[in-house]
A and B are shown apart, each in its own frame.
Chain A
Amino acid sequence: MSANINAFPDRAAEQKGEIDDGHIFSKALKATMRKQRLQDFFFHKLTLLFALSVLFVLMGIIASLMIGAWPALKEFGLPFVTSIEWDPVNDKYGALIAIVGTLVTSFIALVIAFPISFGIALFLTEICPAWLKRPLGTSIELLAGVPSIIYGMWGLFVFAPLFADYIQPALAHTLGQVPVIGQLFKGPMMGIGILAAGLILAVMIIPFIASVMRDVFETVPPVLKESAYALGCTKWEVVRKIVLPYTKIGVVGGVMLGLGRALGETMAITFVIGNAHKLSWSLFAAGNSIASTLANEFAEAESVLHVSSLFALGLILFVITFFVLSAAKLMLMGMSRKEGMK
């Protein structure tokens, strides 16, 4: 007891010492804090600088493409987009063939890839047993990781010969006989061509669309699905009438993301599209896309106008993909906001 009582003055003395120390300490503390505030300030500005640099690169890309494209756009004006002439010898350039080639191949790819990706996403989210989910998901993602040049070589050396020998005759004999769309499936069966390019693009974008779809399918609240099952819906009806309407925007966003990929794809297309500057009704014919034109001609372009026309093509491609990707991102963002609200 007495020890405790005796302890009081000691503690008071201690406290006094503490205050004195604290006084000295607070000066040191202030200095430390000032230093730290300065460090924080620099840290903030440093990271801000690097974040800014990412933004600047995008603006730099747009600006440099515009500057590069300016001579061609000034020379040819708006008809550049609608002219089918592409004649390096006479220095006359028009972008229509390349634009049409890009759009048609991407469209074919989407038409094929959408149902297959939907099936894959459906399989991975609803049907697949849990232990298979990861390996199957990973293998689909592996498909996305194959470099595009491998797709190109595979398409040219393996796929195109088989395509010419078996699939193209089959298409020509069936769809080719139908009056109007038959025009699309006529012509020489070389294997390479717009249709082959579209098919290979489809294989390339399937993993992107499928993985986005899988992710948005998983955002559907289980309560909704379970209620539908409880009402006696079949699995197909649940997917078709509950999951799909709920994730509509996200699915469209995923498709647009795939479209953005398909539009910008270069090497695979360059290998299999045939690289011919002509416009034809037949999907079997060789064509050209914006990206394959760039890949083929950029290193060899001599005249100022040729280089500039190629820059103009690049600008067109970038603008198209920018809008497609922005739309996709905005849709997917709306999707995640909805998810956050629930």
Chain B
Amino acid sequence: MKKPEMNPVYRRRLWKHRIGIALSFFAMAVGLFFLMWILLTLVVKGVGAIDMAMFTQTTPAPGSEGGGLMNAIVGSLLMVSVAVFISTPIGILAGIYLAEYGEVSWFAKVTRFVTDIMLSAPSIVIGLFVYAIYVANVHHFSGWAGSFAISLIAIPVVVRTTDNMLNLVPTSLREAAFALGAPRWRVATFVRLRAVKAGVITGVLLAIARISGETAPLLCKSSAQFSAVCPPMVGKIASGRSLSMMRSTTCQVIGSI
């Protein structure tokens, strides 16, 4: 059977459609291509540098052989854990406020807006802020200043995830708790928050993933003379690249589950 002759208008529309779809496939391929390229680069160039010495020895003076990155790893872990200890309670409580009392007040609306802005504010500006209020007054760089800076970056992440997660709790669950005579704070913490515990923890993990890869705010203030932090070190020592990659991807994988 011969195909009927196609109307030229239809043919033009069909071709437009085909080109559009092909371009869309192409765009997706470009995205995946860059992802694969970056990950492969990290694995291929970094995997050879991983050995026991990297985790157990400190960085030697420039020019000498051997050594590892223990100072950077330990420094990173310390700073990130301090930042998590600071930002988790603040973030969760502020998130509870937004979800629990936030529907009515303009103040909560403003806070939510501001949190969204902070979520993507340039991290180097946050570094400047911590420099201005902390380092300039104490007159020396320190890991504490770095921790404060990255906890400022983590807080908005935790606040927004907590807020979003709490809003997923069905109203009937809360009403049931209220009907049993539970006070509001109990409902908020023991019913509502507990119901979305996993989601809130995901938020904290996301925040960890974000701040452990954070570099810029640390440049201007964490212990510059000890270079005790991982990401800035990575800029100096190429062999560290695999490490930061592994950490960030593992965090990311945990976070996305």
Contact = CB atoms under 8 A, between A and B. Distances in A.
Given A50-B94, A325-B117, A266 B31 contact: no
A143 B31 CA distance: 8
Contact of A40 (B14, B35, B185): B185
Interface in A298-312: 298-299, 310-311
Query: Chain A interface mostly helix, strand, loop or mixed?
Result: helix
Q: Classify chain B: how many residues form its interface, as a range.
A: 35 or more
A157 B238 contact: yes
Interface string A226-240: 000000001111011
A318 to B, nearest CB: 5
A188 interface: no
Interface string B77-106: 000000000000110011011101100000
Contacts of B128: 64-65, 68, 294, 298, 310-311, 314
A236 to B, nearest CB: 4
A298 B131 contact: yes
A140 B34 CA distance: 10
A236 B98 contact: no
B159 interface: yes
A269 B97 CA distance: 38
A29 B128 CA distance: 54
Q: Classify chain A: how many residues form its interface, as a range.
A: 35 or more
A162 to B, nearest CB: 10
Query: Chain B interface mostly helix, strand, loop or mixed?
Result: helix
A139 B32 contact: yes
Contact of B122 (A145, A299, A321): A321
Interface in B119-162: 120-129, 131-133, 152, 155-156, 159
A317 B122 contact: yes
B169 interface: no
B16 A234 contact: yes
A127 B124 contact: no
B120 A264 contact: yes
B116 interface: yes
B114 A58 contact: yes
B121 to A, nearest CB: 6
A58 B118 contact: yes
Interface stretch (B20-28, B47-55, B56-64, B65-73): B20-28
B219 interface: yes
Among all A-B residue pairs, the 10 with the closest Cβ atoms? A119-B27, A264-B122, A147-B213, A47-B97, A43-B185, A234-B17, A236-B20, A36-B183, A266-B216, A236-B17
